[in-house]
Amino acid sequence: MRSLAPLAAVAALALALTTARLCAAPAEVSPAASAPGSAPAAAAAASAPIAPALPAHALTAQDAQAWLDGLMPTALRTARTPGAVVVIVKDGQVLLEKGYGYADEKKRAPVDPARTLFRPGSTSKLFTWTAVMQLVEQGKLDLDTDVNKYLDFQVPPRDGQPITLRQVMTHRAGFEERIKDLVAFDIPETPLAEVLSGNMPARIYAAGTTSAYSNYATGLAGHIVERVSGLSFNDYIEKNVFAPLDMTHSTFRQPPPGALLADMSTGYEESDKPGKGFEVVNIPPAGSLSSTGHDMAHFMIAHLADGQYGNARILKPETAHMMHTTITRPFPDLNGMALGFYQDDINGHPVIAHGGDLNYFHSDLWLFLDDHVGVFISVNALGKEGLGEGIRDDVFHEFADRYFPRSEPVQPIDEATAKAHAQVMAGRYQTTRRGETTFLSLINMIQPTTLTANPDGSLTTKLLLHPQTFVETKPWLWHEVGGHDQLQARVVDGKVMTWSTDYLAFAFAYEPLHGLAGAGLEVPLLVLSLALMLAAVLAWPVGAAARRWYGAAPLPAAVRTSTRWLAAAAIAALVAAVAWTALFAVVAAITAPHLDTWLHVVQLLSFIGFLGGWLVAGWNLVRRVQARVPGRRGAIAWATLQFAAFTMVLYVAASYHLLNFSAGY
């Protein structure tokens, strides 16, 4: 869920360019909740607590093992996920560490929590942030100084304002999303400075104003650690974090060196499918860690003890306290962002955490600060229909409800207010973590996020793996029915500015779409336009055959020429549209090979098919108006429709940055 990318989402979105998906226009205000059973559940909540108080179990090794042994095998089997590791620490000790299933399904090699290396993905960032805070407490870094002071290349200012490390650590640097070359398979790692200086994203927000999760910004922090310490990032982490924490089976190096590689778990799409190669993260500080559950326990123990592990210390107590409790809160009642950790408070218990996803490994780490408890989980497959990555959320929620349950019930607001506010919220939105200046902006058109107002005043949306229904508990704050999530909106003068949820607010918010996109018209009009172009292609030979069949007089030469040119332009536009669909599907895999040549070919096709086609359609319309032939009115109407179709396609191409030769995305 919280990853190198919710970019697994990009893969799903890319395939939405198919006509069937494009034609689906979700309603904004429905007569019933879209999730089965969700509207009745929400209605029942009007007279009962949304989240009732529950009794607590004592957290012991025996009880935790019995609970996990009942949960994990079934969860792995249902999700078709080969293996997982789960570690629980409490009061400075490992309470439980256990492997489930297989590290290598083909060899039937079981997961060993002390030896099997998993890929924690973006949970790796916690090591980068720990390194930054070590250098802060040494006086070598200042969280509020322009990062350009520490870099060997320059990050241009936006609106005259620089970026600071504090903004980087709280994902408020303002960079747009980029996925190019983020992850690849079994290739040499590119030097970090080269990756960062050669593929800098645009800054689309003023620094410090908007949450927009950024792997690139984390890479900047890692490079700053290199520059200030005089060590490579790998060497620094090994010397200053792994060594004092006795993390002997952990590395940021790709692939793991020596004997560690032999202990590396294989990653899978799902059970009974071939294993995948080693995923190389080209911004290592953002997600290249390989580690065992046992080693991750040491890291959790150190942070829960304010930087102390045994006789070693990686942070001073005051530094660790600052890192854990300095909260940037984009929404007043939602979880916010500490310095590197995000808040994941649950059932009234303060929790800091960080999840991570590669394509085939999905992980999460939670620290219950007041309870001195930590949990780490990693699974080695996406699983059937993405269910593998959902296992960690099930573990977290069931763990919290079992051992740290809610002590006070949550009650809904009055129904009249809920209904009025739900109507205001209903609509289409785009995420602040997006590609704004590249063709990735197409995602905003292909699949906007929708909020649906239900008749009882509840809201339904699908942000994670399943639809969620929310009931309002106080003005502009909603609680998930049957779950733990919350949703809050910032509303000014009756208009929604932004909204987010507890699970997502640290990384991004949602902003309303406007114009054709906000009205849900862009996709239907685009589909209609492409259909008209296809009709223009078919009309050329069909019309000629019909005239021969009925013995009609041939069209004037000028009209015949413009008709042929229009058909050719329509073919070019359709080819360009298909090419973008194919390219987008490949790019969405994130591990796509270098595609610059193909991208430039598709961009050239766009100029020919979209811009050139629009000019041809306009010329054809002029010719039809000028021609004095039978059926002139119908011909002019048809030419006008074609011109409108090409205009719509050109509008989409220009709006979503298909008409340029940039190789960035």
Alpha-carbon separation of residue 519 from 25, 28, 74 (angstroms):
10, 10, 43
Q: What is the pLDDT of residue 32?
A: 31
Q: State the pLDDT at residue 587.
A: 78
CATH number where 178 lies: 3.40.710.10
- Provide the pLDDT for residue 410: 84
Pick the more confident residue, 558 or 85: 85
Write down the pLDDT at residue 159: 87
Residue found by looking up tokens 């000790």 in the block: 93
Q: Output Rg (C-alpha) for the chain, integer angstroms.
A: 28
Domain of 419? 27-37+410-515
Q: What is the largest CA-CA distance in the chain?
A: 98
Torsion angles phi and psi, residue 213, rounded to 5:
-50, 135
- Let me know if residue 126 belongs to a domain: yes
Tokens 């179709």, located at residue:
645
Residue 50 pLDDT level (bands cut at 50, 70, 90): low
pLDDT computed for residue 406 by the predictor: 85
Give me the amino acid identity at 156.
P
Same domain? For 495 and 541 the reply is no
Distant-in-sequence contacts of 661-664, Cβ < 8 A, 24+ apart: 661/600, 661/603, 661/604, 662/437, 662/438, 663/180, 663/596, 663/599, 663/600, 664/178, 664/180, 664/199, 664/201, 664/438
* CA–CA gap between residue 166 and residue 340 (Å, rounded): 9
d(CA 469, CA 32): 12
Q: What pLDDT shows up at residue 24?
A: 33
Residue 13 covered by a domain: no
Task: Please tell me whether residues 491 and 544 are part of one structural domain.
Answer: no
Mean pLDDT for 643-651 is: 97
Strands 373-379 and 427-431: unpaired
Classify strands 279-281 and 351-357 as parallel, antiparallel or unpaired: unpaired
DSSP calls for 148-167? GGT-SS----BTTB--BHHH
Side chain identity, residue 160: G
pTM of the model: 0.88
State what percent of residues in the chain have pLDDT above 90.
74
Q: What is the mean pLDDT of residues 80-92?
A: 98
Residue 410, C-beta contacts closer than 8 angstroms, at least 6 positions apart: 49, 50, 51, 473, 479
pLDDT in tens, 544-568: 666 666 666 566 677 778 888 999 9
When mean pLDDT is compared across 114-118, 409-413, 461-465, the lowest value belongs to: 461-465
Q: Tell me: do 511 and 449 sit in the same domain.
A: yes
Mean pLDDT of 489-505: 96
Task: Share the mean pLDDT of the chain.
Answer: 89
Predicted confidence (pLDDT) at residue 132 exceeds the cutoff of 50: yes
If asked whether residues 388 and 373 sit together in one domain, one would say yes
- Give the lowest-confidence range in 185-194, 492-501, 521-530, 634-643: 185-194
**What pLDDT is stored for residue 71 in this prediction?**
98
Do 345 and 474 reside in the same domain of the chain? Answer: no
Residue 662 lies in a domain: no
Q: List C-alpha distances in Å: 588 to 1, 66, 204.
A: 17, 40, 22
Average pLDDT over residues 513-533: 94
- Pair 487, 627 in one domain: no
CA distance 315 to 582: 49
Q: What is the pLDDT of residue 562?
A: 82
Residue 336 has pLDDT above 80, yes or no: yes
Residues 421, 479: one domain? yes
Q: Is residue 564 part of a domain?
A: yes
Q: Are 450 and 599 in the same domain?
A: no
**How many domains are there within the chain?**
3
For residue 342, what is the enclosing H or E element?
strand 342-343
Domain edge (last residue) among 478, 498, 515? 515
pLDDT at 191: 87
Residue 641 confidence (pLDDT) above 90: yes
Confidence of residue 48 (pLDDT cuts 50, 70, 90): low
| pLDDT digits 0-9 by tens, 210-252 | 999 999 999 999 999 999 999 999 999 999 999 999 999 999 9
Residue 298 CA: distances (Å) to CA of 289, 365, 519: 15, 12, 52
Say how far apart CA 621 and CA 80 lie, in whole Å: 57
Helix (H) or strand (E) holding 256: none
Integer Cα distance of 602 and 587 in angstroms = 13
> pLDDT tens across 142-200, in order?
999 999 999 999 999 998 899 999 999 999 999 999 888 788 876 777 889 998 998 89
Inside any domain, residue 660: no
Statement: residue 287 has pLDDT above 60: yes
Spatial distance between the Cα atoms of 242 and 182, rounded to a whole number of angstroms: 25
Which of 403, 422, 446 delimits the end of a domain?
403
Is 656 within 8 Å of 576 (Cβ atoms)? no
492 and 609 belong to one structural domain: no
**Average pLDDT for residues 511-538, to the nearest whole number?**
94
Closest among 449, 451, 447 to 426, alpha carbons compared: 451
Between 28-32, 70-74, 111-115, 302-306, the lowest mean confidence (pLDDT) is in 28-32
Report yes or no on 16 lying in a domain: no
- The pLDDT assigned to 184 comes to 81
- Residue 496 backbone class (left: φ over 0; alpha: ψ -120 to 50; beta: rest): beta
297 and 382 in a single domain? The answer is: yes
pLDDT on residue 20: 31
* Position 265 pLDDT exceeds 80: yes
Whether residue 360 sits in one domain with residue 471: no
Is residue 473 domain-resident?
yes
pLDDT at 31: 29
Note the pLDDT of residue 154. 95
Higher pLDDT: 569 or 462? It is: 569
For 343-396, how does the pLDDT look when each residue is reduced to its tens digit (9 = 90+)? Answer: 999 999 999 999 999 999 999 999 999 999 999 999 999 999 999 999 999 999
**Strand ranges across the sheet with 362-368:** 109-110, 93-104, 83-90, 373-379, 362-368, 351-357, 342-343
Q: Which residues of 312-345 are buried (b: 16+ CB within 10 A; e: fewer)?
A: ebbbbeebbebbbebbbebbeebbbbbbbbbbbb
Which of 374 and 629 is assigned the larger pLDDT?
A: 374
In a domain, 4, yes or no: no
Among residues 496, 515, 534, the one where a domain terminates is 515
Instruction: Give the containing element (helix H, strand E) for 208.
Output: none
535 and 503 share a domain?
A: no
Model pLDDT, residue 634: 84
Cβ atoms of residues 330 and 509 within 8 Å: yes
When pLDDT is cut at 50, 70 and 90, the band that residue 34 belongs to is: very low
How many alpha carbons lie under 13 Å from residue 43 in its C-beta half-sphere?
Answer: 9
